[in-house]
Amino acid sequence: MIALLAKRYGPEGWPVATVKAEPPEGFDGYIKRLDNLKSREILGIQYRPLIETVNDMAARMIELEVVSKPKILSPI
């Protein structure tokens, strides 16, 4: 996910962390997988791809000026 955001926004000058953070202390490495099959079958929900959601979030954060590009200092 990070690599896709870096590829999309990095060339435009947006800083995107490309290094994973260390897991929190006490994290055992187990990640529970969730199943949305019933919500899709019973309720008819159609989920959007995660990368689409993350890209939309990043675009909205830029639009709302929640994030800003770092100022590039001109050479002396």
58 — pLDDT class (breaks 50, 70, 90)? very high
Distances in Å between the alpha carbon of 41 and those of 5, 11, 30, 44, 76? 31, 40, 28, 5, 63
Residue 64 has pLDDT above 70, yes or no: yes
Position 43 scores a pLDDT of 97
**For 32-50, how does the pLDDT look when each residue is reduced to its tens digit (9 = 90+)?**
888 999 999 999 999 999 8
**pTM to 2 decimals?**
0.64
